[in-house]
Structure 1
């Protein structure tokens, strides 16, 4: 079936106030408790309504069915198109993508996010651990790239589009990036971090 993921934005001090051994359970309860939905077509934010539980939000990516595969394939497609993208857009998207879902870009292109790799001290099975001080930097890269995202359409269609599988065309690529942009901008507004649980 492959790897699934649940993406949350979280109030960092609230998570870190929990005993280290209990943090994974706290995050799992947040992702699969009140805000969880079995609706595979769901898209957007889910927020808890219980008193005292206003420390997290869950984001459902469109057309992902909860799978990590679209994130992987978006990175893979980016790898094939990035050399044909206008340099300022390429630089911003290199950093944005590398920080969130296409880790290791720096190893192959020397164009990664440049953010320091911090070990996750939470003893939790996470695909992404993004502390609040990284979020404004990543959101800044999104603000640079978003107005010029349409300029990626032609090179994507020519060099990366595929007739089947995940992230087949520019529209699905742009949707995934726009969803990640929504996640980091909302986290930035709140001063929160971002985590993606491996499910």
Structure 2
């Protein structure tokens, strides 16, 4: 078993108004609402609003391309590290700005308890609404340049057998993150990524 990720769009004002000690538990319940899941149905992909009936100020995103595993996200970050120096300066700046908070950020919001066991984090990402808006801008500037990364990716980052094997898989995952970010920004909400 590996680490999975569940990404939630969260009304930040409701989150901040929730007692400190209850926040994480509520979000964990919204990420996997045991009593509301039909275990016999096909898994839903994309956005589910509300994530759970008792947390109507939260939506859950189910990635199409990852089956819930965190490994593709990790390997997308690794692939970006491999190819970053070969990207054009404008694309490098914008993808750094887009990917860094999503794949490598730590919770600096102060909204959640500190992780007692960093090797198994409680949070994989925490982006308040202003950070989500900034991500939207980074993506809008990066997306038209993304195709220019195809050839350098094939030379420096492609790795058959890895979770992100090639440029197409990399760009599919980035475009899914753009959907996640775009919807959260449209609502004026933040994002939280929980391990499962």
- Residue aligning to 1:121: 111
CA offset at residue 41 of structure 1? 6.5
RMSD after superposition: 2.4
Aligned to 1:112: none
- C-alpha spacing 1:11/1:162, structure 2 compared with 1 (3 Å): same
After superposition, give the CA deviation of every residue in 1:89-140 in whole Å (9 maximum; x if it has no partner).
1110011111110349xxxxxxxxxxxx724332272110111121111110
TM-score by length of 2: 0.86
Shift of 1:43: 2.8
Equivalent residues in 2 for 1:35-184, closer than 5 Å: 42-48=44-50, 53-103=55-105, 118-123=108-113, 125-184=122-181
Q: Would you say how many aligned residue pairs link Structure 1 and Structure 2?
A: 187
Contact 2:36 2:52 in 1 (8 A): no
TM-score by length of 1: 0.85
Structure 2: distance between partners of 1:102 and 1:68 = 12
Give the SS at the match of 2:126.
strand
Change (3 A) 1:49 1:28: closer
SS at structure 2 position matched to 1:101:
helix
Residue 178 of structure 1 aligns to a residue whose secondary structure is: helix
